Amino acid sequence: MALANARAILPSVTIHPAAPTADGKMLARLAQWCGRYSPWTSTGKENDPELSLEGAGGAGIWLDVTGCAHLFGGEEAMLADMANRIEKLGFTARAAMADTLGGAWAVARFAPNDTWQVIPPGETRAALAPLATAALRLPPATVLALHEVGLRYIGDLLDMPRGPLAARFEKDVRLRLDAALGKAAEPLSPILPKTPLIARLAFAEPIGHRDDIAAATGKLLENLCATLEQAGQGARRLVLSIYRPDGSTAQITIGTARPSREPSHLLHLFSEHLDEIDPEFGIDEISLIAAVANPMAIDQTNFQRGAAAQNVDSYNAVIDRLTNRLGSRNIRQTHFRESHIPERAAGFIPVGKTKPIQSEQGCAATPRPLRLLRPPEQVEAVAESTDGPPVLFRWRRVLHHITRCEGPERIAPEWWRSDNGNTRDYYRVENETGQRFWLYRSGETSWFVHGLFG
Amino acid sequence: MEDLRARIRALERPSWTGEEKLFSLGIPEIDRQLPAGGFLPAALYEVLADRPVDAGAATGFCITLLAALADYRKGRVLWCLNNNATDAGEIYPAGLTQHGLDPSCLTIVKTTRDTDVLWAMEEALRSNAFIAVLGELRAIAMTASRRLQLAAEENDALTVLLRPATETPGLSAAVQRWRIKAAPSHPRGFVATLNEPGNTCWDTTLFRSRGGTPGTWLLEWCDETDHLALAPPVCDRPVEPHNTGLTG
């Protein structure tokens, strides 16, 4: 029904936009909640990727309760309890239990009577017979095609020869029918609970010695790395928390440049900081959490793994060690930008921020100094004329007479930036003892030393 | 006599077996004076600026040394610096290409203490991830330099210490110790009125060379060919200093 029609009939109708993603999430949470009945629960998404939440059957939750029913006092009691509890959670639910997934799915949605129903073993066939063909989880087009040839109920299909059925309606119909009757296998893949990336160790007697703490950390790392490997993850940030008997805690955090689950490497990173822990009267529990973890493929070692790959590994390892002691801001790589302003054009950025950009500026045609003063230092200078080259200048209280001079190289400020200054006239100058400087004039009379040449 | 020389060589560190691949600045006159016949790639070198204003020249010499190594051995270079050790600004990547070093292979470590520089250098040497490690620091104790020299030998990486000008360079376990001073360039081209700076010139003094003899050379960096050469004697420059010929 169109929304306009609905409003015409009942103007006070409440409207909520559809939220399939949120619905899907809710369904997944509900499936997890159903884990109280059986560990083998699924939203059926893996089995029927084409089935959407909207449409005929809608989504549901599948449980494989083989061997679980007796814990709840039998199958009927279990299903009644399930329907009851889900209703209390605020959902309207229909439930069915049958020999096969397909059978249960069909009965739960298409059986005319109760909200819950148990089909006793071996009676699936009889229970399916009076249901509409749509109960076989078929696409609407196939259902329509079946209707056109007068096959309205599953019972009409049950005794038909499989060969012509498959030839006429593709193999969907045959597959679904066989699966519902238990003649074909239909496995159910359960939702796997997320493994928490945590390892903890409690001690009978509080420990306080540094070596003990290091040993415990090593053990925790081994456990956590095994968990990480199973989850296909690598740690980017690890938090080690210690708990003292008086309830106080302390934490150490380490980070890595890229996902890692190498216990020895991570222990090395921690060992720098273990001295910061003050055990006071002892530590009775240590926990280690992978606060940030990224997917990490299992690394296959082979004989052809060249020295280059090993070099990358050892480079990452040493960068991690340096970073954890000196801070990530102090480990830098070269970085070029598309700019003519020298201090913007080339510099250093923390390793791992972005890929270093190679630009033409890296090999500028005009000479650039080897050392750059940041910021430039103002000097007293005397020039031949107001716009001529400098003759002498005083930098750091030393007077330099210029014997050779090249320039000017005029660099205009970037008008699109707000912090632009004056146009600069750069001169490459050499004093009488051979030292070379990069001087520039900003405005009329202000002179600056900006760099030293090799 | 040869036997005696070999025995002395065995006593002295670094012990080179003659199998190491040496690298060279491209100047036979210097190589001839070095005991191994070239620069050892796994050793500690020390470069001092002669005066505070010579920081640029000393940096240039270090870069040339690194570039000469990178010519025959590809890999990363670590540059550790103590921010407080020098007041001559920081290294500028755009200037490195002109001395033959690819700036993208460079990783910088900034610290504020000499001890952190030494720690980072040793950590980097032991990691085996770098072909060369350079430390820019104010002073170094004999023991620390000895540790670096051993680490450099064990891990086969060039180690360079770049130090600012100081009256008393102190003791050091470095294989070679250089003092670098800028020298006036001679003008480029033929027109005398063109008063542009010519090729970069350095007055380099090898004042300590383990197993070799010290020497002084006037070197010139040719921009056109991107290599270092002995500066040709020119009529308008002071008389070229001769090698002192002292034994080290």
* Gap between the Cα atoms of A249 and B163, Å rounded: 45
Residue-wise pLDDT tens digits, A175-184: 888 888 888 8
* Closest of B91, B60, B97 to residue B78, by C-alpha: B91
Q: Does domain A198-298+309-322 have CATH number 3.90.226.10?
A: no
* Closest of A381, A362, A452 to residue B197, by C-alpha: A452
CB A31 within 8 A of CB A47: no
B88/A452 CB distance under 8 A: yes
A434/B123 CB distance under 8 A: no
Question: Which of A 399-438 lie inside 8 A of B, CB atoms?
Answer: 403-406, 428-430, 432-436
Query: What CATH number has the domain spanning B40-184+196-230?
Result: 3.40.50.300
Cβ within 8 Å of residue A254, ≥6 positions away:
A237, A238, A240, A266, A269, A270, A273, A324
* Gap between the Cα atoms of B95 and A342, Å rounded: 11
* Run of H or E including B163: strand B158-163
Q: Which residues pair with B176 in a beta bridge?
A: B45, B209
A-B contacts (CB, under 8 Å): 181
Residues of A whose CB is below 8 A from B92:
342, 346, 368-372, 451
* Gap between the Cα atoms of A134 and A106, Å rounded: 8
> Which pLDDT band, with edges at 50, 70 and 90, does A196 fall under?
confident
Q: How far is B4 from chain A (nearest CA, A)?
A: 40
> Which pLDDT band, with edges at 50, 70 and 90, does A162 fall under?
confident
Backbone angles phi, psi at B90, to 5 degrees: -110, 165
Residue-wise pLDDT tens digits, B19-46: 668 888 888 889 888 888 889 888 999 9
Mean pLDDT of A419-442: 89
Say what the pLDDT of residue A435 is: 92
Tokens, residue B55? 């920081």
B126 or A173, which is more confident: B126
Say what the pLDDT of residue A448 is: 93
Say what the pLDDT of residue B13 is: 52
Say what the pLDDT of residue B238 is: 46
- Residue B248 above 50 pLDDT? no
Residues of chain A with CATH 3.30.1490.100: 198-298+309-322
The CA-based dihedral angle spanning residues B113, B115, B121, B126, taken in that order and rounded to the nearest 10 degrees: -150
B129/A315 CB distance under 8 A: yes
- With an 8 Å Cβ cutoff, is A318 touching chain B? yes
Say what the pLDDT of residue B243 is: 46
Residues of A whose CB is below 8 A from B111:
326, 330
Percentage of chain A modeled with pLDDT above 90: 16
- With an 8 Å Cβ cutoff, is B84 touching chain A? no
Pairing of strands A331-336, A346-350: antiparallel
- With an 8 Å Cβ cutoff, is A264 touching chain B? no
* ipTM, two decimals: 0.85
> Which pLDDT band, with edges at 50, 70 and 90, does A261 fall under?
confident
> Which pLDDT band, with edges at 50, 70 and 90, does A354 fall under?
low
- Structural domain boundaries in chain B: 40-184+196-230
Say what the pLDDT of residue A304 is: 57
Say what the pLDDT of residue A53 is: 42
* Gap between the Cα atoms of B209 and B176, Å rounded: 5
Percentage of chain B modeled with pLDDT above 90: 39
Say what the pLDDT of residue A52 is: 46
Looking at residue A349, the DSSP 8-state letter turns out to be E
Residue-wise pLDDT tens digits, A204-249: 988 888 889 999 999 999 999 999 888 888 898 899 999 988 888 8
In a 3-state reduction of DSSP, which class is residue B47? Answer: strand
Tokens, residue A353? 């921020």
pTM of the model: 0.68
Query: Computed from CA positions of residues A84, A85, A88, A94, in that sequence, does the dihedral angle turn out positive or negative?
Result: negative
Say what the pLDDT of residue A288 is: 92
Q: How far is B164 from chain A (nearest CA, A)?
A: 13
* Closest partner CB to A430 (pick from B90, B119, B184): B184
Which residue of chain A is at minimal alpha-carbon distance from B238? A433
